[in-house]
A and B are shown apart, each in its own frame.
Chain A
C-alpha cells in the first residue's frame, strides 16, 4: 500500500500543478500587472478595504463567489455582446437575444455597477466596497479576453467552434482555448512572471493605451478581436501538432498584449477611484482629446 500511496501523492501533486486553470492563472497575472501600476495611495487604500491582502490575492474571487445565491448575478458578468455596428448589447437588450450566451453577456452592466458603487462608496460598508473592487478587477480583465466577445451577426457555432489536435480525438472548444491555452501553452507564467515579462511599456505608451472611456476601450476591443472568429478560423479546425504550434504562434503574442493592456487599464480605473490626485476614467461618453 505504501508503494502505491507515495507515487500517488507525487503524481497527484503534479496533476494539481498542471491543472491550474487559465482563468486563475491569467487573472492573477493581469491583476499583478495592475497592482504594479497602482499609485501608492490607491494601493494602500485598496488593501485597507481588502483586509491587508494584495489585490492579486483576489484576482479570481468572482469565480469563487458566484456559486453562492446572493452572488448569482455575477455569473452573467463574464462576456459582452455587440451588434454589427459595434454597439454594446447591454442589459435588457442582451437578455432578449435568442442566443443563450448573448442573453447572459452582461459584463459591461456588471462593470458599470461596480464603478458606480465605488464612486459612491461612502454609502457602502467596507465589505461592499471590497466586493466591488474585486468585481471591477475581474470584469475588466475578462473584457480583454477575445473569447469573451460575442457578435450578434455571427452564429453561436462560429463563436465557439470545436477543433482537434493530432493524437487527440477529444474536441476542444474555442472558448475554452481562449480561457486557457492561448497564453499558457506557450508561456506557463505565474503572476510575478506576467509582471516581469509584460509590464515593460513606457509611460507614453501606457498613457495612450489607457486613454478614453471604458466603453471606448471595449468597443475598440470588439473591432480588434473579431478576427479571432473570422480569419483566424480560416486555418481550419483540425491541426497536426506542428500546424497547431504554427497557429499558436500567431495567437499568443496578441493574447499576451491584451493581458498587459488589461492590467494597465485596471490600474488606471482603480487609481482614478482611490487616489484623489489621479485622473478618473469615465465608463461611458466620449473622451476628451489628448492634451498636446
Chain B
C-alpha cells in the first residue's frame, strides 16, 4: 500500500504540472486549426512576413519573449487585467480588458499592413496568433478572480494553472498539437461562419461566460477530483476550436486578397 501511495505521489508530482496545454500545446493546437482555415492568399501573404514558417511555429512566441528587452510591455497583454484595480481608470470609468484592447489596436494597425515595416507586421502576426488564443482561455478573462487554489487528489493547485496546463493534458494525453484539428475541427461551413461572426468584444464575452461555467463546476470547498476534468473538457475543447476559427477569421480579414 505504501509503495502504491509513493508511486502515486511520484507520478502526480512528476507528471501533472508539466507545461503541456493552453500554454504551448493549446496555443499550437489553436494555430493549427486556424492554419487549416486560412485562405490560400492569406497563408501565402503571412508566410512572406514570417520567414516562410507556419503561424504555429510562433504560437507561443509571446510567452517565450515576454521578459525580453523591448517586449516587457507585452507581459500585461495576455490577460484582461492583472489586478481588479485596473478595471477602472482614475476617474472611475471602466477600462477595456487589456487583451481585447491590444487585439483591436493591432487589427486596426494591420489594415494598412502593406505600409508597415516587415518587422512590425512580423511581430503583429505573432501577437495576434497568441492573443486570440489567450482571450479564449477561461482563466485569462476575469484573471484576478482565477487566482485561487483548488485541492486535487490531496494537492493544492492554482485554478489558473489547472486551466493553463492540466485540463486538456489530462483529458487528451495522447494528442499532439497537430492532432487537434483532426479531433475537433468538425463543424460545417455554416457553423464556422456563425462562430466567426461578431466582434472581439462578443468573443471575449463568450469566454467570460465559459470562465463562469468553469468556476461553477468547482464545489464550494474547492476540492476536486478527476471528474472535474470530465465536467469541463467540453468548455476547453470548444474554446480551443472557436479560437482557431476566429484567429483564421482575423488573419484572413487582414491578409486575404
Q: Scoring A residues 1 to 31 as 1 if CB is less than 8 Å from chain B, else 0, what string do you get?
A: 1001111101111110111000000000000
Interface string of B160-199 (1 = CB under 8 A from A): 0000000001100110111000000000000000000000
Task: With CB as the reference atom, state the residue of chain A lying closest to B169.
Answer: A14
Residue-wise, chain B 11-39 has the 8 Å CB interface mask toward A (1 for contact) of: 11011101010001100000000000000
**Among A102-110, A158-166, A187-195, the stretch in contact with B:** A187-195
User: How near does chain B come to A279, taking the closest CB pair, in angstroms?
Assistant: 25
The CA-CA distance from A188 to B57 in the complex, in Å, is 11
Contact B52 A200 (CB under 8 A): yes
Closest to A200 in B: B52
Q: Which of A8, A12, A192 contacts B178 (CB 8 A)?
A: A192
The stretch that binds A, out of B60-68, B107-115, B131-139, B242-250, is B60-68
Instruction: Give chain B residues whose Cβ lies under 8 Å from the Cβ of A10.
Output: 170, 226
Known A-B contacts A14-B18, A18-B18; the reply to A197 vs B56 at CB < 8 A is yes
Residue of B nearest to A249 (CB): B64
Check B54 against A197 for contact (C-beta < 8 Å): yes
Expressed in whole angstroms, the minimum distance between the Cβ of B155 and any Cβ of chain A is 11
Instruction: List A223-272 residues whose CB lies under 8 Å from chain B.
Output: 242, 245-246, 248-249
A196 contacts chain B at the CB level, 8 A cutoff:
yes
Q: Which of chain B's residues have a CB closer than 8 A to the CB of A4?
A: 4-5, 8
Taking the complex as formed, is B153 at the interface, i.e. its CB lies under 8 A from any CB of chain A?
Answer: yes
Partner of B4, one of A8, A18, A187: A8
Nearest-CB residue, chain A, relative to B59: A187
- Kindly state whether residue B73 has any CB partner on chain A within 8 Å: no
Whether B5 and A13, one on each chain, are in contact in the complex, defined by CB atoms closer than 8 angstroms, is no
Given A188-B24, A197-B53, A249-B64, A12-B176 contact (CB < 8 Å): no
Given known A-B contacts A196-B56, A197-B57, A18 and B15 have beta carbons under 8 A apart: yes
Q: Quick check: is B90 within 8 A (CB to CB) of the other chain? A: no
Contact with B along A163-182 (1 / 0, CB 8 A): 00000000000000000000
Closest residue of A by beta carbon distance from B47: A200
Q: Check: A186 CB closer than 8 A to any chain B CB.
A: yes
Tell which of A7, A12, A19, A246 touches B67, judged by Cβ atoms closer than 8 Å: A246
Q: How far is the CA of A1 from the CA of B64 in the complex (A)?
A: 42
Contact between chains at B11 and A242 (CB < 8 Å): no
B8 and A7 within 8 A (CB): yes
B67:A242 contact, CB within 8 angstroms: yes
Interface size on B, residues (CB 8 A): 34
Residue pair A18, B11 in contact (C-beta under 8 Å): no
Is A7 touching B153 in the complex (CB atoms < 8 A)?
A: yes
In whole angstroms, what is the CA distance A197 to B59 when docked?
Answer: 12
B18 nearest CB neighbor, chain A only: A18
Q: Is the CB of A12 within 8 A of B25?
A: no
**Once bound together, how far apart are the Cα atoms of A143 and B88, in whole Å?**
57
Known: A17-B20, A188-B20, A190-B176. A196 touches B4 (CB 8 A): no
> Shortest distance in angstroms between B18's beta carbon and chain A's nearest beta carbon?
4
Q: Which residues of B contact A196 (CB under 8 A)?
A: 54, 56, 178
- Which of B11, B12, B174, B176 has the most CB atoms of chain A within a 10 A radius of its CB? B11
Contact between A187 and B24 (Cβ–Cβ < 8 Å)? yes
Q: Is the CB of B65 within 8 A of A193?
A: no
Q: Complex formed: what's the CA distance from A186 to B58 in Å? A: 10
Instruction: Indicate the member of A11, A15, A186 with the most B CB atoms within 10 Å.
Output: A11
Q: In the bound complex, what is the Cα–Cα distance between A1 and B5 (angstroms)?
A: 10
Q: A18-B15, A193-B176 are in contact. Are A186 and B64 (CB under 8 A)?
A: yes
Q: How far is the CA of A15 from the CA of B20 in the complex (A)?
A: 12
B125-165 with Cβ < 8 A to chain A: 153
Q: Is the CB of A18 within 8 A of B8?
A: no
The smallest beta-carbon distance between B175 and chain A, in angstroms, is 10
Q: Are A8 and B8 neighbours in the complex by a CB distance under 8 Å?
A: yes
Distance A246 CA – B64 CA, assembled complex (angstroms):
8
What CA separation (Å) do A8 and B14 show in the bound complex? 12
Task: Say yes or no: A12 contacts B11, CB within 8 Å.
Answer: yes
The reply to whether B14 and A18 contact each other, CB–CB distance below 8 Å, is: yes
- Among the interface residues B15, B52, B56, B173, which one has the most CB atoms of the partner chain A within 10 A? B15
Given contact pairs A11-B11, A18-B20, A197-B57, enumerate 15 new A-B contacts (beta carbons under 8 Å). A4-B5, A7-B12, A8-B8, A10-B226, A17-B20, A186-B60, A188-B24, A189-B176, A190-B178, A193-B177, A200-B54, A242-B67, A245-B64, A249-B64, A249-B68
Q: B-contacting residues of A (Cβ < 8 Å)?
A: 1, 4-8, 10-15, 17-19, 186-190, 192-193, 196-197, 200, 242, 245-246, 248-249
CB-CB nearest 6 A-B residue pairs: A11-B11, A14-B15, A15-B15, A190-B176, A18-B18, A242-B67
Can you show 30 pairs from A to B with CB atoms below 8 A apart? Answer: A4-B4, A7-B8, A7-B12, A7-B226, A8-B4, A10-B170, A11-B11, A12-B7, A12-B11, A13-B15, A14-B16, A14-B169, A15-B15, A17-B173, A17-B174, A19-B14, A187-B57, A188-B24, A189-B176, A190-B176, A192-B178, A193-B176, A193-B178, A196-B54, A196-B178, A197-B53, A197-B57, A200-B54, A246-B67, A249-B68
